[in-house]
Amino acid sequence: MPVFADSHQLNSCLKILFTRVGEKHPDATRQVSASHLVIRLRVISPEAEMVINGRKNPAQITYGASPLRPDLDVQLSGDTLHAILLKELPLGKAFASGQMKVRGPVLKSFVMEDVFHSGQALYPQILRGSGPPFTPAG
């Protein structure tokens, strides 16, 4: 059974998570702006998409489809994202095993490392404190 029941639940969780990352860890989001990259995070099972526009300062996040062409395209399942954010699956292992696929200049994907690490610090609190619809289905 997947961790997230549906796209709505996953999108809601992502919106809260990335809003809090921006508020509590502004250095991580400044790094994305400094990169001038457009990064698309595509989650499958359930489907969700967000685009981080690092060409804007501060970086802007769009949830859902965006007309911007990504410089870096990251794809992973909802379960993989959940495991990464709970520190159960290291980013490097997710990439090396193919559970997380990156298209584009892979070396530039390290700009997202601080964003993921900041998210790891906040994600458990979001799961515990938000209740439905953010409590994983599994």
Alpha-carbon distance 37 to 85, whole Å? 22
Q: In this structure, what are the phi and psi dihedrals at residue 63, rounded to the nearest 5 degrees?
A: -100, 130
Helix (H) or strand (E) holding 28: helix 26-35
Q: Convert the pLDDT of each residue in 57-112 to its tens digit.
A: 889 999 999 999 999 999 999 999 999 999 999 999 999 999 999 999 888 888 88
Cα separation, 74 vs 120, whole angstroms: 17
Q: What's the predicted TM-score (pTM) here?
A: 0.88
Report residue 108 CA to chain centroid gap.
16
Q: In the chain, what are the domain boundaries?
A: 7-129
Give residue-wise pLDDT tens across range 29-44.
899 999 999 999 999 9
Residues belonging to the chain:
138
Q: What is the DSSP code (8-state) at residue 52? A: E
Domain 7-129 top-level CATH class: alpha beta
